[in-house]
């Protein structure tokens, strides 16, 4: 009796992460990539793709893996726009997210108290009131609309502007500048004119916030800027210029992540009737739904790092200067860490997901994002249980390496 030779292993075929099919649904490919090699050099992306949970955690802890990304962003600017870039990239260099310890720790400490969960909880009543008001205007029973435009984008903007202390009269300009800065930082700017608009928006945003800080020094209010100024760290642990630069990061990060988290959670629930029924029966399970969305289909797909020096990861040698993509969207589905990782379960407990990062670079705004997203999902489940997606099969996603963002969410309220 002869034994058949084992079938040869199928060759792994690399895919471009910004191809339309990868933008629409990257997860089957990321699962295959993680199984093939959790640390994989990609000639196509000129970067290491790190997809295993343990390997991503190692990178988030290892000082040899640097968060300094200002130089690569500057290198992407077309030559014709470089003259406008010097001040804008000086601002980015003051963002804590682009700094490594100990500089990162010094900058982050300025906001540590203001972003703590107990401090953010002060805004719960305002967030609940704002949510009810927005839904009362936009979500009349039987009306059709776009949940992204109606709720997911304006609500975080309202809460964040209140928290930061942006006067209503300035809101339109403030959020325009933020959108253009996002084009620069998230890599969606392509043409020279788009880069120029983004660079100028960052400068305008810093000028505006510098003026707002000066006003709050003279006339303190109940907002983030006034709170941090009152704590006395500005001028001691950070300079005034550093503080304003950090506020531009806070402004940029204030709405985008939370908007996408709201939209992705609504999508996750409304395409899983059993899970949505559980949240409708007990709206407090909205918290579990938000956490599962952060794990399974969160607003961030990856973060980009650079090897500050040579390091060995999972038997592979990464050289100083190599780009590293920490693909948290794959790590959060690693079966070595999560039981039945592809299942969305609002009751899930146990292993820590990486939806907001980990360690020194854990998202400082996580508590505020959670507060807003959970409030919206709770309110929708309790007060708008008949909401349905208009056509979930035709939803489209923004082309981005970093973000997982729907272009629109058509619904019937």
Give residue-wise pLDDT tens across range 39-91. 999 999 999 999 999 999 999 999 999 999 887 777 777 877 777 688 999 99
pLDDT for 69? 82
From 1.10.630.10, 3.40.50.1000, 3.40.50.360, 3.40.50.10420, which CATH number describes the 64-300+355-412 domain?
Answer: 1.10.630.10
pLDDT of residue 1: 46
Rounded CA separation 389/207 (Å)? 41
* Residues 164-198: b if buried by 16+ CB within 10 A, e if exposed: bbbeeeeeeebbebbebbbbbbbbbbeeeebbbbb
Name residue 316's beta-bridge partners: 313
Residue 260: count other Cβ atoms within 10 Å of its Cβ: 27
Q: In which residue are the tokens 């936009």 written?
A: 138
Tokens of 274: 């059993």
DSSP label at residue 139? -
3-state SS assignment for residue 97: helix
What local confidence, expressed as pLDDT, does residue 10 receive?
A: 56
The tokens of 232 are what? 């006395």
Q: Which phi and psi (to 5°) does residue 395 adopt?
A: -65, 145
Question: How far apart are the two ends of the chain, measured CA to CA in Å?
Answer: 67
Could you give phi then psi for residue 66, rounded to 5 degrees? -100, 145
Q: Are 66 and 303 in contact (CB under 8 A)?
A: no
| Contact call for residues 231 and 164 (beta carbons, < 8 A) | no
Question: Tokens 């000639």, residue?
Answer: 43
- Confidence (pLDDT) at 8: 46
Cα(290)–Cα(262) distance, rounded to whole angstroms? 8
Give the pLDDT confidence score for residue 2 in this predicted structure: 46
Please give the structure tokens belonging to residue 358.
Answer: 């980990």
pLDDT tens for each residue of the chain, 413 residues long: 444 555 444 578 999 999 999 999 999 999 999 999 999 999 999 999 999 999 999 999 999 999 998 877 777 778 777 776 889 999 999 999 999 999 999 999 999 899 898 999 999 999 999 999 999 999 988 999 999 999 999 999 999 999 999 999 999 999 899 989 988 888 777 788 898 899 999 999 999 999 999 999 999 999 999 999 999 999 999 999 999 999 999 888 768 899 999 999 999 999 999 999 999 999 999 999 999 999 999 999 999 999 999 999 999 999 999 999 999 999 999 999 999 999 999 999 988 999 999 988 899 999 999 999 999 999 999 999 999 999 888 999 999 999 999 999 999 99
Q: What is the pLDDT of residue 183?
A: 86
Domain ranges for the chain: 64-300+355-412
Strands 47-50 and 323-326: what pairing? parallel
The 8-class DSSP code of residue 397 comes to: B
């Amino acid at each position: 009796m002869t034994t058949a030779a084992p079938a040869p292993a199928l060759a792994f075929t690399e895919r471009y992460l910004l191809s339309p099919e990868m933008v629409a649904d990257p997860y089957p490919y990321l699962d295959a990539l993680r199984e093939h090699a959790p640390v994989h050099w990609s000639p196509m992306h000129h970067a290491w793709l790190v997809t295993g949970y343990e390997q991503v955690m190692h990178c988030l802890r290892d000082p040899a893996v640097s968060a300094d990304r200002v130089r690569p962003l500057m290198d992407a600017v077309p030559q014709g726009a470089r003259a406008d870039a010097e001040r804008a990239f000086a601002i980015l260099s003051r963002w804590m997210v682009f700094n490594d310890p100990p500089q990162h720790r010094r900058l982050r400490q300025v906001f540590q108290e203001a972003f703590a969960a107990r401090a953010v909880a002060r805004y719960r009543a305002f967030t609940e009131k704002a949510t009810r008001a927005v839904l009362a205007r936009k979500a009349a029973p039987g009306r059709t609309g776009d949940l992204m435009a109606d709720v997911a984008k304006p609500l975080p903007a309202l809460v964040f502007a209140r928290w930061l202390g942006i006067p209503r009269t300035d809101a339109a300009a403030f959020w325009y500048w933020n959108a253009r800065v996002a084009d620069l930082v998230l890599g969606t700017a392509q043409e020279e004119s788009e880069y120029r608009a983004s660079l100028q928006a960052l400068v305008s945003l810093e000028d505006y916030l510098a003026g707002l800080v000066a006003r709050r020094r003279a006339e303190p209010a109940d907002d983030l800027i006034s709170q941090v100024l009152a704590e006395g760290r500005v001028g001691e642990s950070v300079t005034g210029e550093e503080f304003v630069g950090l506020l531009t990061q806070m402004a940029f990060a204030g709405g985008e992540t939370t908007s996408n988290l709201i939209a992705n959670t609504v999508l996750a629930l409304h395409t899983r009737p059993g899970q949505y029924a559980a949240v409708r029966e007990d709206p407090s399970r909205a918290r579990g739904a938000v956490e599962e969305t952060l794990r399974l289909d969160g607003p961030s797909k990856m973060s980009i790092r650079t090897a500050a020096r040579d390091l060995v990861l999972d038997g592979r040698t990464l050289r100083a200067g190599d780009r590293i993509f920490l693909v948290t969207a794959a790590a959060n589905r690693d079966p070595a860490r999560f039981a039945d990782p592809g299942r969305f379960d609002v009751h899930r407990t146990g292993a820590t997901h990486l939806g907001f990062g980990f360690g020194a670079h854990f998202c400082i705004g996580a508590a505020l994002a959670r507060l807003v997203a959970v409030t919206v999902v709770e309110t929708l489940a309790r007060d708008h249980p008949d909401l349905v997606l208009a056509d979930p099969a035709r939803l489209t996603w923004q082309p981005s390496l970093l973000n997982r963002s729907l272009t629109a969410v058509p619904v019937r309220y």
